[in-house]
Amino acid sequence: MDKAGKISNIQFFFMVFAAQLNLGIYAMPSPLFTAAKGSAWLAVIVAWGAASACAIIMYMLARQFPGQSIYEYSSILTGRTFGTFLTICYVIYFLTFGGWMLWSLCEVLKSWMFLWTPKWFLSLCIGITCYLLGEKSISAIARVCSIVTCFSVLIFLIFLLLSFKDYMRYGIEPLRFMPFIQSDVRDLAKAIQTAFIHMLGFQIIMIIFPFVKPSKSNAFKALMLSLLGTAIIFMLVICSITLCLSKLEVTLMEYPWLYILQGTALQTVNRLDQLFIPIWLSVVIVSISLQIYISSQGLKILFRLQSHRKPALWAAVLIALTVTLPISHDTLKTFNRYLAWTSYALVIGFPLLLLMLSKIKASSIAEAGR
């Protein structure tokens, strides 16, 4: 892999953190409450545990092949043909994931801020911005990601406190968390799946881990802390929605967190949601840029190129074109279902299989050397 730069453990933390956050605070609460009701917080905790287990598998796999990404060591473990097939699958998956994020982001912007702006124009502006960042070196992306994520999360926490303080005037009912489980096992499982899908993003470690500066134990701590930080942010959103809105209100709203900000009255700012969306937009742009970068790394290997800049342009164009597709909400639900099953295969199944193969091959080599 081309070592165009190295990233520190702190930068590694912020990159994984930003990749996970993306649009989760917008899109996750409504389907989560629809399925799990007041037990949505429990679904987030279980999903965090599942995501942590998957991340540990990826970390253990990456430790077996220092300096190489999954695009490279998949061919070592499974052979050139199947390794190339896996690389193609992961490139398509990352492109699809980035396209899903861009499509969802344009929906939020068009619904809340740019009502009369064509989606293709929003896609063009955001796509160009993402490409200009995604075609840079990993160290440059990491620096931007660290600054943007730190600032945006700080603003989120301030807005959370302001909205919570404002809603205290109307009375808050902590008993909404009781009983602890307010849905049956099937609905809770569906909510856990929804929470897990919105926590995805940590899979970028399969590509960016070789760029992390030596000090693997600290890298593992950074990885686990980024997952914990994402879970805490989502828990804060879920708890604030549970306390401030009724169950019926949440199920009727597509973006409950934005409605909470919209209803927060301050003397200096009338609409906190209109201020928050542009700030959080930077986090989503960074997250999409990461999808462009890791996709371009796979395309670079497939086409045996020296630089990832040209593949980054291809990836940005393909992701931007996703928004032009005539996708209805029913089609989006079907697409989300397929994306979920694909994620299970590529985020859980194949990394676990490759880790088992690496252990088997390592033990075989050890026995042959005796």
pLDDT at 178: 58
Residue 275 contacts by C-beta under 8 Å, 6 or more apart in sequence? 269
Is residue 76 in some structural domain? yes
Is residue 146 in some structural domain? yes
Is residue 102 in some structural domain? yes
Do the beta carbons of residue 259 and residue 245 sit within 8 Å? yes
State if pTM tops 0.75.
yes
* Percent of the chain whose predicted confidence (pLDDT) is above 90: 56
Is residue 363 in some structural domain? no
Residues 188, 272: Cα–Cα separation, whole Å: 32
pLDDT single digits (tens) 66-100: 889 999 999 999 989 999 999 999 999 999 999 99
Q: How far is CA 14 from CA 17, 121, 201, 276, in A?
A: 5, 29, 12, 20
Mean pLDDT for the stretch of residues 127-137: 94
Is residue 370 in some structural domain? no
- What is the number of other CB atoms lying within 10 angstroms of the CB of residue 147? 13
- Angle at CA of residue 76, ends 72 and 81, nearest 5°: 85
Residues 51, 55: Cα–Cα separation, whole Å: 6
Do the beta carbons of residue 9 and residue 212 sit within 8 Å? yes
Mean pLDDT for the stretch of residues 137-155: 95
Find how far residue 281's CA is from the centre of its chain. Answer: 14
pLDDT at 4: 52
Q: At what angle do helices 309-322 and 119-134 cross, to 10 degrees?
A: 160
Do the beta carbons of residue 322 and residue 102 sit within 8 Å? yes
- pLDDT bin (cut points 50, 70, 90) of residue 267 is confident
Residue 87 contacts by C-beta under 8 Å, 6 or more apart in sequence? 71, 74, 75, 298, 301, 302
Residues 97, 208: Cα–Cα separation, whole Å: 17
Is residue 1 in some structural domain? no
Range of the domain at 224: 9-352
- pLDDT bin (cut points 50, 70, 90) of residue 34 is confident
Q: Does residue 256 have a cis bond before it (omega within 30 degrees)? A: no
DSSP string, 236-278: HHHHHHHHHS-HHHHHH-S-HHHHHHHT---SS-S-HHHHHHH
Is residue 285 in some structural domain? yes
Among candidate residues 244, 268, 275, the one with its CA nearest the CA of residue 257 = 244
Q: Which residues of 103-112 are buried (b: 16+ CB within 10 A; e: fewer)?
A: bbbbbbbeeb
pLDDT single digits (tens) 275-302: 899 999 999 999 999 999 999 999 999 9
Instruction: Give the total number of structural domains in the chain.
Output: 1
Residues 137, 129: Cα–Cα separation, whole Å: 15
Residues 8, 173: Cα–Cα separation, whole Å: 43
Find how far residue 358's CA is from the centre of its chain. Answer: 27
Look up the CATH number of the domain holding residue 168.
1.20.1740.10
More confident residue, 251 or 176: 251
Is a pLDDT exceeding 80 seen at residue 169? no
Is residue 359 in some structural domain? no
